[in-house]
Chain A
Amino acid sequence: MARKTEITISIATMFVGGMIYVLWRPDTLIMFSWFKTLGLQNSVEELRRVASPYASIFPSWVIYALPQALWFFSGLVAFHSIWATRSKKIYWIYFSGFVSIAFTTEFGQLLNVVPGHFDVSDVLWLLIAGILALIITFPTIQKGVLRNDTR
């Protein structure tokens, strides 16, 4: 996949995930206090008011599990777009580091080590996102476009 396409996909999925939070998640999240500080409260409120009736169209996993998965996917694709022409080894370090952090955070919630509520569907969505990211970047990896490390 072309680098520009990867960057576009990465930015788009990050944006969509963010918008789900802004439009349909409760306004008790920390980001809403940031919007207030930045003077964006009225615009955000208006957006939420307009979007509010559409929340019932989506199943709850779209609002509660999908955004994280989109961000995870976005990160993986972004790392690929950055490192594809630089270093194969470093790409895999970022990839595995990011995957480890995401899953450790989820399972940390299960063990009450990390704040938040553990949900199996969150883990499943992370898995799907990770697999999808691998699928779309795999042809590039397989063709050997990823460069070997500089010594």
Chain B
Amino acid sequence: MIHGRKSKKLVVGHLLSTCVVGILVLLAAGSAEEDPETKAKREKYGDKISAFVMAQKFVEQNLKSPGSAEYGWQTADECVTELGNGEYLVKGWVDAQNSFGAKIRNNFSLKLTYMGNDKWRCTEGPYIVGR
């Protein structure tokens, strides 16, 4: 009886350990690079998320109160259009305080070009229009 309980405990131990190993293997597999081609493309032409982050920086440089800027739940997928050759068109909105301190919603659009080495250039805009 005691022996049976002990071996049951060991089986449970092995099952739990297998789960731990499984989770760690999953994490290790997920953290591997997708494929060298995608990586090379990203390094050469940038990506949508970085374009969206940079667009926000360019937009904020043109706001009266950059610290008050809020973008809500907009995502790079919704706001960024890839034009090819490292060019991106970003369209979205930002809530920010105007010179009177009132928070208003502004639409913005701008074109960005990825220059390599995490550097971006704003080639058009940013055009910011209050709603």
Contact = CB atoms under 8 A, between A and B. Distances in A.
B13 A33 contact: no
B119 interface: no
Q: 4 tightest A-B contacts by CB?
A: A31-B30, A150-B6, A86-B13, A78-B20
Interface of A: 14, 17-18, 21, 25-34, 41-42, 45-46, 48-49, 52-53, 67-68, 71, 74-75, 78-79, 82-83, 86-87, 90, 94, 98, 115-116, 150
Interface string B26-59: 0111111111001100100001010011000000
B49 A45 contact: yes
> Chain B contact residues: over half helix, strand or loop, or mixed?
helix
B23 interface: yes
A24 to B, nearest CB: 11
Interface residues of B, number: 34
> Chain A contact residues: over half helix, strand or loop, or mixed?
helix
A21 B27 CA distance: 10
B99 to A, nearest CB: 25
B49 A71 contact: no
A67 B31 CA distance: 10
